[in-house]
């Protein structure tokens, strides 16, 4: 189940507010890209509700409409496609529960059977074309390239204002990947990014495109290409948070990290020298005190000789603090070396998905986009 955090506000607020990453989006799409870890089919393999629907054997529930009727009578009926919210889960099934609880999740067995059924695949592609046209886009060839449809101006304006359709696009992209059309996803996402960032025809979609659409693509290299394209055209450029950080920022942060441990090691060495110096002065002071005591006690009497013989003991005691300081100094000496190693350790521990993806993940659990705007949570 996916959550899009949609927000409404004026353009000036949206332009000035720095977007934030969504923890929920990152987690949801990570699971999708990695084939749903710990996923278990909860239905018997002979159920195949989604496949039977696409073979025109059962209608989708709760409306009771067959796939052939949807493809023939609903095509071009934009009001119906806009306001009916139960068909999309049947047209583009996933291995996760959607808003329509009558729709069944895909199973791994069903996916394999679906891919082998030409009738189902043919209708699935017709459904994809129907929805693209609804958005103002057309499929131009058999490898997934897309372009503006004849009605693009009217439909783009509608798409820019009806943000609940962004959930539908995310579902469509996921379903394409599940049913054997992973290669169709990148051309569609690239087209949407171009229209949003370069042509500025659907500017409101850019947040969802970068937060959700791009991350439905399983090929890491393809994702990076799209993120580099988006970073090149995103304005203001300093607000782009999805790609790798700029080179100069990286170098600056590295230099800062390196300088702080070096400074701390220098300070520790200085303090160590000071301690050693203090210990030497304290030991010499003890020696002087013992010497003064000896001079005072010197006399022709025999008891003084006994005192003279025992006098070396204080000097031995005085030598002990300096030895202790030496051992402490040794331990302090070894400490700066550990401190110098900290940047490398930090670098290794900070790597998880950031370095794997080459992307920033400020997973703060907040919704993407303008936090000052009113947020509407929609579940598809």
- In this prediction, residues 213-231 reach a mean pLDDT of 97
- In this prediction, residues 271-277 reach a mean pLDDT of 51
DSSP 184: G
Q: Is residue 315 part of a domain?
A: no
- For the chain, how many structural domains are there in total? 1
Q: Which of 25, 30, 176, 26 is nearest to 93 (CA)?
A: 176
Higher-pLDDT residue of 327, 65: 65
Q: How far apart (Å, rounded) are the C-alpha atoms in residues 44 and 269?
A: 69
Q: How confident is the model at residue 255 (pLDDT cuts 50, 70, 90)?
A: low
Helix-strand-coil split of the chain, %, nearest 5: 65, 5, 30
**224-245 pLDDT per residue, tens:** 999 999 999 999 999 999 976 6
Q: Is residue 287 part of a domain?
A: no
> Which residues form the domain of 44?
23-233
Q: Is residue 248 part of a domain?
A: no
The model carries a pTM of: 0.66
E strand or H helix at 349, and its extent? Answer: helix 312-349
Distance spanning both ends of the chain, measured CA to CA: 7
- Indicate the pairing of strand 146-148 with strand 137-139: antiparallel
Q: Picking from 31-40, 113-122, 324-333, which range would have the lowest pLDDT averaged per residue?
A: 324-333
Give Dmax over CA atoms of the chain in angstroms: 129
Q: What is the pLDDT, as a whole number, of residue 148?
A: 98
Neighbours of 262 (CB within 10 A): 13
Q: What is the pLDDT, as a whole number, of residue 39?
A: 77
Residue 296 to residues 274, 282, 315, Cα–Cα distance (Å): 33, 21, 16
Q: Which of 85, 83, 55, 79 is nearest to 67 (CA)?
A: 55
Higher-pLDDT residue of 43, 342: 43
Residue 95 to residues 109, 116, 150, 183, Cα–Cα distance (Å): 11, 18, 34, 19
Q: Is residue 251 part of a domain?
A: no
Residue 232 to residues 135, 191, 247, Cα–Cα distance (Å): 25, 15, 14
Q: How confident is the model at residue 98 (pLDDT cuts 50, 70, 90)?
A: confident
Residue 198 has pLDDT above 90, yes or no: yes
Q: Is residue 120 part of a domain?
A: yes
Residue 152 has pLDDT above 60, yes or no: yes
- In this prediction, residues 327-354 reach a mean pLDDT of 39
Q: What does the mean pLDDT of the chain come to?
A: 74
Q: What is the pLDDT, as a whole number, of residue 278?
A: 52
Q: What is the pLDDT, as a whole number, of residue 204?
A: 97
Percentage with pLDDT > 90 across the chain: 54
Residue 79 has pLDDT above 70, yes or no: yes
Residue 138 to residues 13, 84, 156, 162, Cα–Cα distance (Å): 33, 22, 13, 19
- In this prediction, residues 137-148 reach a mean pLDDT of 97
Whether the Cβ atoms of residue 13 and residue 378 lie closer than 8 Å to each other: no
Q: What is the pLDDT, as a whole number, of residue 252?
A: 58
Residue 55 has pLDDT above 80, yes or no: yes
Q: Is residue 362 part of a domain?
A: no
Residue 258 has pLDDT above 90, yes or no: no
Q: Is residue 189 part of a domain?
A: yes
Whether the Cβ atoms of residue 361 and residue 353 lie closer than 8 Å to each other: yes
Q: Is residue 186 part of a domain?
A: yes
Residue 229 to residues 58, 147, 223, 239, 243, Cα–Cα distance (Å): 43, 18, 10, 15, 10
Higher-pLDDT residue of 329, 294: 294
Q: Picking from 21-25, 69-73, 250-254, which range would have the lowest pLDDT averaged per residue?
A: 250-254
């Amino acid at each position: 189940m996916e959550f899009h955090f949609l927000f409404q506000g004026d353009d000036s607020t949206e332009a000035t507010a720095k977007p934030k990453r969504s923890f929920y989006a990152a987690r949801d799409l990570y699971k999708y890209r990695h084939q749903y870890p710990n996923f278990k089919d909860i239905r018997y393999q002979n159920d195949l509700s989604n496949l039977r629907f696409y073979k025109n054997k059962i209608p989708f529930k709760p409306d009771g409409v067959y796939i052939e009727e949807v493809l023939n009578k609903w095509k071009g009926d934009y009001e119906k496609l806009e306001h009916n919210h139960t068909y999309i889960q049947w047209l583009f099934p996933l291995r996760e529960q959607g808003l329509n609880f009558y729709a069944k999740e895909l199973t791994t067995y069903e996916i394999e059977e679906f891919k082998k059924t030409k009738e189902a695949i043919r209708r699935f592609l017709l459904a994809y074309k129907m929805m693209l046209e609804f958005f103002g886009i057309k499929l131009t060839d058999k490898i997934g390239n897309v372009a503006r449809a004849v009605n693009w101006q009217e439909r783009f304006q509608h798409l820019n204002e009806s943000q609940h359709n962004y959930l539908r696009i995310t579902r469509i992209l996921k379903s394409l990947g599940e049913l054997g059309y992973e290669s169709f996803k990148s051309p569609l996402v690239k087209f949407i990014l171009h229209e949003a960032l370069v042509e500025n025809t659907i500017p409101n979609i850019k947040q969802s495109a970068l937060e959700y659409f791009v991350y439905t693509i399983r090929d890491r290299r393809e994702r990076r290409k799209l993120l580099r394209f988006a970073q090149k055209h995103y304005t203001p450029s300093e607000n782009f948070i999805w790609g790798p950080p700029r080179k100069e920022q990286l170098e600056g942060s590295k230099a800062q990290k390196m300088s702080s441990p070096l400074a701390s090691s220098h300070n520790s060495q200085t303090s160590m020298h000071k301690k050693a110096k203090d210990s030497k002065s304290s030991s010499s002071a003890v020696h002087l005190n013992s010497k003064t005591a000896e001079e005072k006690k010197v006399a022709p009497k025999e008891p003084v000789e006994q005192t003279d013989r025992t006098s070396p003991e204080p000097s031995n005691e005085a030598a002990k603090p300096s030895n202790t300081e030496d051992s402490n100094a040794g331990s302090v000496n070894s400490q700066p070396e550990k401190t110098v190693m900290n940047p490398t350790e930090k670098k290794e521990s900070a790597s998880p998905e950031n370095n794997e993806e080459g992307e920033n993940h400020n997973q703060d659990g907040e919704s993407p986009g303008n936090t000052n705007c009113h947020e509407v949570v929609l579940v598809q």
